[in-house]
Chains A and B, each alone.
Chain A
């Protein structure tokens, strides 16, 4: 079983759609959780940290369920510029970061 598993994708949606990405992790000792965004041939950039209480940043909402070891990202009113690969990242206390395979989103006009 992979340490971090994401929806395989790709997701192709029209502008304005709502899209949800799911991620599960296997290491119950994981301490912190993030969604990163990676554009083609570029470095990953932080989209948002994920907290147990859930957090929202504009059109983006992240949720964490520690009991189920599940993380989600919801994008509302998707824009063309949201097209990218979304990476679920899980950190252990020892400083190791594990990336999911990524889910590619294409938003079409």
Chain B
């Protein structure tokens, strides 16, 4: 069964460093998403991406964040200068079509900023 994969599973970084979280969505999917979940809190939408551009982003997704689909398979989230409060689980998701349809989530990357 096809699945979304994410690497690394756990990333530890120093405050102020840049991190890149990687995702490989399901191969025939067209819509891609990043979410974050701070420990003990709700899942929060960060950004959606379609046709090589951002289609929606939340107020959390400020200038320190960027997304890219550098090739036909990877979808990355870059955090330019990490803050302590960026520590969270980051989930990537993909969907075949825009309306309806299930979003398939990856297993997440746990980011710890020290």
A residues neighboring B (CB under 8 Å): 31-32, 34, 38, 41-46, 49, 87, 91-102
Tell me the interface secondary structure of chain B in the complex.
Answer: strand
Closest to B105 in A: A43
> Are A97 and B99 interface neighbours, CB within 8 A?
no
B residues neighboring A (CB under 8 Å): 31, 33, 35, 42-45, 48, 50, 55-56, 58, 89, 91, 98-108
Number of A-B contacts (CB under 8 A): 57
With the chains together, A46 CA to B94 CA distance in Å?
13
Beyond A43-B106, A97-B103, A100-B42, 9 additional contacts (C-beta under 8 Å) are: A32-B100, A42-B107, A44-B43, A44-B91, A93-B99, A94-B55, A95-B98, A101-B42, A102-B42
User: Which B residues lie within 8 Å of A46 (CB)?
Assistant: 102-104
Tell me the interface secondary structure of chain A in the complex.
Answer: strand
Closest to A46 in B: B102
